[in-house]
Structure 1
Amino acid sequence: MSLVDEIYDRIEDTVEIFRYKKNHSEIVNFFTGQAVFITGVTGYLGKCIVEKLLRDCPDIEQIYMLMRGSEKHSLEDRVHRYFQHVIFSRLKEENPNFQSKVTVIKGDLFTDNLGLSDEDKSIIINNVTVMYHNAANVKFDVRASVSLRSNVLGTKKMLELAQQCKKLKVFVYVSTAYSHLYMKDIHEEFYPSPADLQTVYDAIEADEKTEKGLSETELQTLIGKYPNIYPYSKAIAEDLVRQYAKNAKFAHAIFRPAIVISSYKEPLPGWCGNTNGPVMIFLAATLGIIRAFYHHQHPLDFIPSDFTVNALLAITRDAQLQWSEKRQRDLVYNLGSSTVNPITFTMMRSNFEEVPLLEKSEKAVALAGTTRMTSCLWEFYFWHWTLHFIPALLVDSILLVSGKKPMVLSIFWKVTRHLDKIDYFGNGNWKIHITKTLKVIDKMSPTDREMFYCDMRDYSWQELNWIAWRGLKLYILKEDIINEAGRRRYYLLCGIHYAFRVIWFLVFCYVLFKLSFILF
């Protein structure tokens, strides 16, 4: 028996075990006494970062959260509402006095000097030791000036603020694995910027001159090989980090996670912060709303939110160590699954199809396992119009006759208009290489590997998909996980499905029989 096992045997109280782990965590020890400044705290990932730091790093000195002001709510009211979110329920149980570690700073990336008061700016400059720039406008179709002001100029202001900080040890920019998505193999290195700052200023000026902003042609000329303004702006921001890191006296790191999805275990299993992007696709496919997929079986890059946060905290410590030991100022860390534990939409469909009967949803409209998957474009469009347009037309007709507002066809047309974007990201076949991040994980102590679990190589996609489904039921559909009504719904849909198959088979046999009489 090892020394650690003997110590664990002597500790009977689980709380004491937990405290022991924290005391022997290198990552927790790194954050002990640190003053952390975080932007983007109201977003999905931002909430997860704040929650994890407050829950597992209780001896952190202070967390400074940048929040915008609001005409409807005071800053104090916004903070109160912020911590009422369900994601902080576990934190409240384990560390009820956590708010003493939180200071809210009023500010805005769009305004000069980040909208900071002289007092708040002085607090940041004199106290902050770790800085996370996590805020970004992630919309693909937002005006160019909005995206560039937020993602590029906002990052520039954060870097300028970081240069003034007297105690800063590490600046981490949270980017995206798709900042240079014109490349199919994305490595942990800097790539050339698509534009300089003067181009950014000129584009903002041109976009704001007219009421509707840049035309489609002008925007495409600006972004070139990029599909939209978001990755274009993130790529420019990454290069700003590289430039500012050249003469800095502290570490700079860029963290590039792939597509962040529902949590695996922390703080709540299956918690999903929004219904955007992949979460909505998972939900619609599992409920049988999406009946046809155009998919080439290329691997996808999905990362649970808790893996993302845990990896972020781990690479923060590593970046500071690289700086102190090797004076390495600019580091890039990727986080993805495609090169170490790939999954496809077909695999995910099979996983969701195998959800236990009592966990099925009462809101399902068709069997999840009957979705058509094809890599043939014309076949997809045939099924798209047959299985999506016709049902949408029927539902809207029923709504119209019953005096209700039709809405399903408008959703169909909206999805159809964006099929090119769905195809681009769903069938991109990117390979996100995570060599440096894996080295960080491999160097983690057993305690840290447990407390900050983020190893994409050794977990089950089926387990994760089932946990994600339970989270969708609880937090999006507002259903109990164990649901007898869902089981009854499943059997009803099975009956309808097989009844239609029998009817189609009989019709086919009838037509064949008639044709045989005509021909012979």
Structure 2
Amino acid sequence: MEPTVAEFFVGKKILVTGATGFLGKVLVEKLLRCCPDLDKLYLMVRPKSGQPPQQRIKDMLDCQLYDKVRKENPDGLNKIVAITSDMLEPNLALTEEDRELLQKEINIVFHVAATIKFDEKMKLSYRLNVKSLQEIITLCKEMKNLEVLVHTSTAYCNCDRQFIEEKIYPPPLDHQKLCQAMEWMDDEMFHLITPKLIDQRPNTYTFTKAIAEYVLAEEGAGLPVAIVRPSIVGASWKEPMPGWIDNFNGPSGVFIACGKGLLRSMRADPNAVADVVPVDIPVNVMIASAWYTAIKKPSLIPVYNVTTGGINPFRWGEMEAVVPSLFKRYPLQNAFRRPSTSVTQGAVVQEYWNIVCHTIPGYFYDFLLRLTGQRPRMVRIYDKMKKAMATLEYFTTNTWEWANENTETLSRALTKEDNKVFFTDVRPLHWPTYLENYCLGTKKYVLNEELSGLPQARAHLKRLRNIRYTFNTLLFVVIWRFLIARSQIARNLWYFVTNLFFKFVQYCRLTSSTS
């Protein structure tokens, strides 16, 4: 009899990189809650802002995400061990004692650490996404009891292809030559040639992630490896609570900008699939793939495309209709304008709406702030938002198809009970309900706004609506006074239109009275 997933993790010593990131936090929570008999959970964390790794982990565990663990498995939190490390340093900045400890102890490695910044400079992106993986591979080869290494990639690493299979593709270029070029080229020169290097890929993130997969297959030959490729990772669907999110990345920033009334228009194809996958799905696939790879020992590296578009698609045009209405029902505090975001396809049209809906209101609002003695900020906010939206346009204007046979096979290999605990099927996902929880999650967990403040937020939206009506009325009066009232042609046209309208109303009344 094969062990269940939870049974497989009994007594295991696990190493996780990137544990303080969004995906890493949810992975740690799921392991502690659903695999309670694991032995130790080693988290590689670098010091940051003067905080040692131990303090960073303590602060991480204090958040609401781990409430269920504290209730169901409080002893699990004592199984966490901080390992001081830095992905940018040689040998991961591990001490000799820590390295020997990991070589002796570790059974399972989850490599989640990476830079997810789309506009990261090539050298830094390569160091974080490729060089750090090479260091992890070297470390894994030294581990005496390693059973599996699970590497987290992205479904978009081969986005230069329309149909993406669950396999490792040849790299965009020879990574060794690229590494050599980085050694002698200065940063400015390398930045200039980056667009030529990435070619048809949109950014350094997808480019370096594609190289990383090939490096793993080449240098990790002989290691038990699995690769998990999630698409756009969004808020949780079910666990540990619906709608949990802790960052502004990807759709979260778009939703918040929409809810604040800042984002009035975005470039996207209404028919393109918004391939958002709830964070609990890739986390479950990561844990289940570790079990499957260690138990089944596949001859080839299993690659898992974790996406929603081919199974349960939701499109940007549908997103345009749902999200603003949700933020009108659950408004954010101190919104700049009422939520209303439209989707446009053309770059020229989008630039027009950027000027009309973002730039001009930004300058107007900053002018009012200066009059009241406050620091102007809206133009700066809109500039940042424009740059952020530009990095997303490639993904909002294109659609891909992904194979998912391996993910389906993994699901079938799980027992009925394991499929409930480590669910990977997105077919039952009801998008309107999920997006409602997502929008509420951005309000509660990212912006730390209490739901008790909803009446005040709704009252604020009503004030914004009244201001808009007043402004539109004044604008109409100004146009009438200075344009229509001074032009005979405009007056004649106005009288013709109003006369036609009143005749239509009169006709409708006569028709209703005779009937």
TM-score w.r.t. structure 1 length?
Answer: 0.86
Partner of residue 299 from structure 1, selected from 268, 273, 286: 273
1:252 and 2:225 aligned: yes
2:284 aligns with 310
Q: CA deviation at 1:47?
A: 1.0
Partner of residue 450 from structure 2, selected from 480, 491, 510: 480
Percent pairwise identity = 29
1:111 and 2:84 aligned: no
Distance 1:96 1:503 in 2: 62
Q: CA deviation at 1:319?
A: 2.3
Q: CA deviation at 1:70?
A: 5.1
Q: CA deviation at 1:154?
A: 0.9
The answer to whether the Cα contact below 8 Å between 1:336 and 1:433 also exists between their aligned partners in 2 is: no
2:128 aligns with 150
1:351 aligns with 322
1:444 aligns with 414
1:265 and 2:235 aligned: no
Paired letter, 1:300: A
Unaligned runs of 5+ in 2: 497-515
Q: CA deviation at 1:497?
A: 4.7
Distance 2:190 2:408 in 1: 43
1:380 and 2:350 aligned: yes
1:336 and 2:307 aligned: yes
1:135 and 2:113 aligned: yes
Paired letter, 2:240: P
The answer to whether the Cα contact below 8 Å between 1:389 and 1:409 also exists between their aligned partners in 2 is: yes
TM-score w.r.t. structure 2 length?
Answer: 0.87
1:290 aligns with 263
Paired letter, 1:200: L
Distance 2:461 2:3 in 1: 46
Residue aligned with 2:266, SS:
strand
Distance 1:455 1:377 in 2: 36
Distance 2:6 2:117 in 1: 34
Deviations along 1:409-438, whole A, 9 cap, x unmatched?
Answer: 123233445554332122122223322112
Deviations along 1:50-103, whole A, 9 cap, x unmatched?
Answer: 111011111012111112245723343333333223322221122222233122
Q: 1:143 to 1:214 in 2, by over 3 A?
A: farther
Please provide the CA RMSD for this pair. 2.7
Residue aligned with 1:214, SS:
helix
The answer to whether the Cα contact below 8 Å between 1:251 and 1:329 also exists between their aligned partners in 2 is: no
Q: CA deviation at 1:456?
A: 1.4
Q: 1:508 to 1:254 in 2, by over 3 A?
A: same
Q: 1:133 to 1:455 in 2, by over 3 A?
A: same
The answer to whether the Cα contact below 8 Å between 1:132 and 1:172 also exists between their aligned partners in 2 is: yes
1:27 aligns with 5
Distance 2:357 2:351 in 1: 10
Paired letter, 1:391: P
The worse-fitting range, judged by mean Cα deviation, of 64-73 and 274-283 is 64-73
Paired letter, 2:131: L
Name which one, 1 or 2, has greater alpha-carbon Rg: 2
Q: 1:204 to 1:264 in 2, by over 3 A?
A: same
1:424 aligns with 394
Matches within 5 A, 1:225-244: 225-244=200-219
Partner of residue 364 from structure 1, selected from 311, 322, 335: 335
1:190 and 2:168 aligned: yes
Paired letter, 1:77: Q
1:469 and 2:439 aligned: yes
Unaligned runs of 5+ in 1: 1-23
Q: 1:78 to 1:420 in 2, by over 3 A?
A: closer
The worse-fitting range, judged by mean Cα deviation, of 352-361 and 451-460 is 352-361
Deviations along 1:291-344, whole A, 9 cap, x unmatched?
Answer: 112221200111111222112112222222331xxx424111011111111112
Paired letter, 2:379: L
Distance 2:175 2:350 in 1: 43
The answer to whether the Cα contact below 8 Å between 1:45 and 1:305 also exists between their aligned partners in 2 is: yes
1:219 and 2:194 aligned: yes
Q: CA deviation at 1:136?
A: 0.9
Residue aligned with 2:189, SS:
coil
Q: CA deviation at 1:517?
A: 4.6
Q: 1:394 to 1:457 in 2, by over 3 A?
A: same
2:504 aligns with none
Distance 2:150 2:190 in 1: 34
